[in-house]
Amino acid sequence: MSRSRFRALVVLLLVAALAAGSVVVARAAEISLTVVNVVSPQDVKIWEPTSVAAKKGDRITLRLVNKHADEHGYEIAAFGVKEVVPGDKTATVSFAADRAGVFPIKCHLHPAHVAGQLVVLE
Ligand SMILES: [Cu+2]
């Protein structure tokens, strides 16, 4: 193999390695979830599922379905999510889970309404 051909081959392999490397870069996942407002067996109004898990960097979209006649709130204060869902209506919230931790989810209109937590893994 001539010197110039060898050089061309090395450059080609480098470009291929770089291209392959760019494919390996992790891409943030999209999480879409329907959260329904129900009454628990303990007769407490809750959002179900109560807890949402994600990985840092995920984009989360939650479809909030309020099955009750009265309005309820859905708040994840740490991510600026604060939605009031009117009775028998649906609302959608979307945000980026850009930091890891455990963050409370609650109905900000009725503190007695047990909600849950958003768990964002590193
Ligand atoms: Cu409520």
CA–centroid distance, 86 to ligand 1, in Å, is 10
pTM more than 0.95: no
Domains present along the chain, CATH in parentheses: 30-121 (2.60.40.420)
CA–centroid distance, 96 to ligand 1, in Å, is 24
CA–centroid distance, 106 to ligand 1, in Å, is 8
Give the least confident one: 19-23, 33-37, 39-43, 68-72: 19-23
CA–centroid distance, 25 to ligand 1, in Å, is 41
- Taking only the tens place, the pLDDT of each residue in 18-37 is 444 444 444 678 889 899 99
- Taking only the tens place, the pLDDT of each residue in 6-18 is 555 444 444 444 4
Q: 24: helix, coil or strand? A: helix
* Residue of 52, 53, 59 lying closest to 97 (CA atoms): 59
Counting residues of the chain whose pLDDT is more than 70, the rounded percentage is 78
